A and B are shown apart, each in its own frame.
Chain A
Amino acid sequence: MGKIKEFIRKNKQFTLFAILALGLIAVAILAPVLTKYDPYQANLGGALQAPSAEHWFGTDKLGRDLFTRIIYGSRVSLAASLTVVAIIFVGGSLLGVIAGYFGKAVDTVIMRLSDMMISFPGMVLAIAVAGILGASIRNAIIAIAIVSWTKYARMSRSLVLKIRHVDYVSAAVVTGSKVSYILRKYMIPNILPTMVITAATDIGGMMLELAGLSFLGFGAQAPTPEWGLMLNEGRVFMQNAPWMMIFPGLAIFVTVVIFNLLGDSLRDVMDVRDE
């Protein structure tokens, strides 16, 4: 208990944002408890109502409660962003470690592939991939993962290269350690802190990209309550029912800020260089 208190005292910023992030996840999980409406339940006669005691964030063009849709939207947005980050974190790091450790042809193939991916503007390539695969949130996740893994691969490769030829690794090799053991015991633990920090700071960015794809019609499809899609639905009502844009926009803004700052403060906590 004392240790926890000490940690909190030392890392106030991190604690605050961790609590806020956990709060967001709690909101997503507890969505049915937090609102009495169904996010899909239309009330065609009650469309475009301004925010009121009955509908805190107003209603949309089909009379659906916007507060409910935003609360449920956190499920889609959070789950999708965390999935993207998990995929690129695991996939990208693994490819980078393999490239860095084995070098030569393996390194060349993986890194040239990565060079090819980063030679395209990320969002444009994601739009192309999502366009070819068809519009859905799953395909948007695949599209963004395809264009975003390179950062992790390049970073983990460079971290592995830094320690590839240090004495304890060479010692492990000459004492007959298996490759998988070396990777597991020496390489991954060494790169993990940096990669975790990168992943944490990426959550916000990925959320924005997913919302962007949905906004453009390449991600979530109606009637899914997804923030980017809701922004797009509200776009045509910008002048008359601004709440249809303001609240989904705020939801994206708040969530992205929380995860970005969480990532930043996580770096402060984990980055040994500051010590």
Chain B
Amino acid sequence: MKKFLTMLFGTLLVLAMVSGCGSKDGGASSAADGDTLKFGCFGYADTLDPGDQINAAWDNMRIGIGECLFNFDDTMTVQPNLCDEYSTEDHITWVFHIRDGVKFSNGNDVTPQSVIDCFEDIFGNEEGTSTPRKFIDYKTMTADNEARTLTIELNAAQPDLCKNLAYPVFMVLDTTGDYDFDTNPIGTGPYVLTSYEPKVSATLTANENYWNGEVPFKNVEVYYLGDDDAKTLALQAGDVNLVENITSAADLKMFADDDNYNVSIAQGVRCGFAYINQDGVLSDETLRHAILKAIDDDTLCETTVGGLYTAGYSVLPSALDYGYDNLTDPDPFDTDAAVKMLDDAGYVDSDGDGIREINGENISLNYITYPNRCLSDFAEAIQSTLGEIGIEVKVNSTDSDTEWNMMVNGEYDLCDSNWTTVGNGDPTEYLANWYSGYEGTDANANWCHYKNAEFDACYDALASEFDNAKRAELIQQMQQILLDDGAVLVHGYYNSSFISDTSITDANIHTADYYWLTTEIKPAS
């Protein structure tokens, strides 16, 4: 009896263990049934209110809810969208004509007044961090619903207001009735939100009132997946049809080599770089140039991060029209030249510990980074590279908030960052990272304490220069100044990616990072 009971319990135990090994019915099958798109992506915000956070505006637009008066094409040239015509004479007063027939997803007409109502909500969000005034400093907004025109009068002339209006913060949402931008924004995009759980999931249905053609999927399920492994595994298991930006080069290559998946990669407008803090040991220009010479950007971009970045030396991506090809890189990769520079400057290792010294002190750099878009991989590789020429690098990989605080407090020598260089179609805001004119004001973004009068003069000139060709010239000049000063350690330009299974087609990633779910993505059959 005892033996029998032992065997019985043993068998039950084994069965209980084995029962956990089963898979769901049908196993790993493709998630798409033709009507439903399942999308795995990273969720950055815990709201969809564009006035609340810039990330929220992006998240909102990314899943096809909100749209702007203008949008960007893949060369980051602004194109008409909800607005089909505009005019300005003095760059202060701008008149926009709202396209006929555009409706919100609830069937309400998009009128000039509804655009103003929405903008007033966004501008009026005093607790938000989107800082819309930074992009558009308006004096008055008036609507002529008969003529379908919206007139915006600015406090100061702007070169191209359309670019700012194409920024996701200025999406047009319906404000009639008991509206809720946070969790139920009503937009003009192809999809309508039906449920939203921040950082977990969202479900959407096709917008029956969509103004710009047919909406390909009846339903969309968005899964906010926190890490890359989850995205990879979910796509492999067939739990999603489409994922964005897998940042493991090895996984990306695996999908590219597999006929069951399509990989779309586009050189985006993001630049991966490290700020060089000019308040510390790196105020030494020779040292900066030697470091920049010692780093092999091509190998870093192609091998270390597996092609997820396109190598480059300027702060603005080579794909943009800001004269990259006319620039001269004073520090092409040349280890011997780097070593010679350091030796000639007298920065040698005199105490035999393998680390060079400046004024008797070891050259030890505090490199802060965070695990985003392969930045920490760059940091580790640079640590190793510089170690070989006798420069000690201590890598501190932390989270983005801590890194930001350390950067603002100047507690670094090198600080990794990844910027959308022309988020609103223009690099002026991005170039403020090296502009010293805002120091001591709220607008200061120059956390690396770089100072160059010539650079500042060019930056100031941008504010009053409305001719696009001349602006491009100024911007090219500014890039060359940064290069000549060895002011930035540029890693390369981040390539965005979409990876889809074969149940969907035309899932192509766009240059601008906020157009994900568009009507271009269709079921395969």
Binding site for B on A (CB under 8 A): 40-42, 44-45, 47-48, 61-64, 217, 221-223, 235-241
Asked if B250 contacts A48 (CB within 8 A), the reply is yes
Asked if B380 contacts A45 (CB within 8 A), the reply is no
Given known contacts A45-B299, A47-B304, is B250 in contact with A223 (CB within 8 Å)? Answer: no
List residues of chain B with CB within 8 A of the CB of A217: 397
- Find B303's partner among A47, A64, A239 (CB 8 Å cutoff): A47
Give chain B nearest CB distance to A262 CB in angstroms.
30
Q: B15 an interface residue at 8 Å Cβ cutoff?
A: no
Q: B383 an interface residue at 8 Å Cβ cutoff?
A: yes
The tally of CB-CB contacts under 8 A between chains A and B is: 58
Least CB separation from A217: chain B residue: B397
Give chain B nearest CB distance to A158 CB in angstroms.
34
Given known contacts A62-B381, A223-B383, A239-B250, is B296 in contact with A44 (CB within 8 Å)? Answer: yes
Asked if B251 contacts A44 (CB within 8 A), the reply is no
- In Å, the complex CA distance between A212 and B467 comes to 59
List residues of chain A with CB within 8 A of the CB of B380: 62, 222-223
Q: B253 an interface residue at 8 Å Cβ cutoff?
A: yes
- Find A45's partner among B232, B251, B303 (CB 8 Å cutoff): B303
Asked if A44 contacts B229 (CB within 8 A), the reply is no
Given known contacts A44-B304, A47-B304, is B229 in contact with A235 (CB within 8 Å)? Answer: yes
Binding site for A on B (CB under 8 A): 228-229, 232, 248, 250-251, 253-254, 296, 299-300, 303-304, 377, 380-381, 383-385, 387-388, 395, 397
- In Å, the complex CA distance between A63 and B300 comes to 11
- In Å, the complex CA distance between A48 and B383 comes to 18
Asked if A241 contacts B304 (CB within 8 A), the reply is no
Give chain B nearest CB distance to A179 CB in angstroms.
48
- Find A240's partner among B229, B251, B296, B304 (CB 8 Å cutoff): B251
Asked if A237 contacts B385 (CB within 8 A), the reply is no
Given known contacts A235-B229, A237-B248, A240-B250, is B383 in contact with A44 (CB within 8 Å)? Answer: no
List residues of chain A with CB within 8 A of the CB of B250: 48, 236-237, 239-241
Asked if B251 contacts A42 (CB within 8 A), the reply is no
If over half of A's interface residues share one DSSP class (helix, strand or loop), that class is named, otherwise mixed; here it is loop
Asked if B395 contacts A240 (CB within 8 A), the reply is no
List residues of chain B with CB within 8 A of the CB of A235: 229
List residues of chain A with CB within 8 A of the CB of B383: 222-223
- Find B385's partner among A42, A47, A238, A240 (CB 8 Å cutoff): A42
- Find A221's partner among B300, B381, B395 (CB 8 Å cutoff): B395
Given contacts A44-B304, A222-B397, 10 further A-B contacts (CB under 8 A): A41-B384, A44-B296, A44-B299, A61-B377, A63-B303, A223-B384, A236-B228, A236-B251, A237-B248, A239-B254
- In Å, the complex CA distance between A240 and B248 comes to 10
List residues of chain B with CB within 8 A of the CB of A240: 250-251, 253-254
Asked if B384 contacts A42 (CB within 8 A), the reply is yes
Asked if B381 contacts A42 (CB within 8 A), the reply is yes
Give chain A nearest CB distance to B364 CB in angstroms.
15
- Find B304's partner among A61, A223, A238 (CB 8 Å cutoff): A61
- In Å, the complex CA distance between A92 and B154 comes to 72
Give chain A nearest CB distance to B131 CB in angstroms.
33
Give chain A nearest CB distance to B493 CB in angstroms.
19
List residues of chain A with CB within 8 A of the CB of B304: 44, 47, 61-62
Given known contacts A222-B397, A235-B229, A240-B253, is B248 in contact with A44 (CB within 8 Å)? Answer: no
List residues of chain A with CB within 8 A of the CB of B377: 61
Give chain B nearest CB distance to A263 CB in angstroms.
28
List residues of chain A with CB within 8 A of the CB of B388: 41-42
Task: Tell me which of A41, A44, A63 has the highest count of chain B C-beta atoms within 10 A of its own C-beta.
Answer: A44
Task: Tell me which of A47, A217, A241 has the highest count of chain B C-beta atoms within 10 A of its own C-beta.
Answer: A47
Least CB separation from A239: chain B residue: B254
Give chain A nearest CB distance to B391 CB in angstroms.
14
List residues of chain B with CB within 8 A of the CB of A61: 304, 377
- In Å, the complex CA distance between A222 and B299 comes to 20
Given known contacts A44-B385, A223-B383, is B251 in contact with A239 (CB within 8 Å)? Answer: yes
Least CB separation from A236: chain B residue: B248
Give chain B nearest CB distance to A228 CB in angstroms.
15
Least CB separation from B396: chain A residue: A221
- Find A44's partner among B232, B253, B303 (CB 8 Å cutoff): B303
Task: Tell me which of B253, B254, B304 has the highest count of chain A C-beta atoms within 10 A of its own C-beta.
Answer: B304
List residues of chain B with CB within 8 A of the CB of A241: 250
List residues of chain A with CB within 8 A of the CB of B395: 221-223
List residues of chain B with CB within 8 A of the CB of A223: 380, 383-384, 395
List residues of chain B with CB within 8 A of the CB of A42: 381, 384-385, 388
List residues of chain B with CB within 8 A of the CB of A47: 303-304
Give chain B nearest CB distance to A149 CB in angstroms.
30
30 pairs, CB–CB < 8 Å, chain A vs chain B:
A40-B384, A40-B387, A41-B384, A41-B388, A42-B381, A42-B384, A42-B385, A42-B388, A44-B296, A44-B299, A44-B300, A44-B381, A45-B299, A45-B303, A47-B304, A62-B380, A62-B381, A62-B384, A63-B303, A64-B384, A217-B397, A221-B395, A222-B380, A223-B380, A237-B248, A237-B250, A239-B251, A239-B254, A240-B251, A240-B253
List residues of chain A with CB within 8 A of the CB of B385: 42, 44
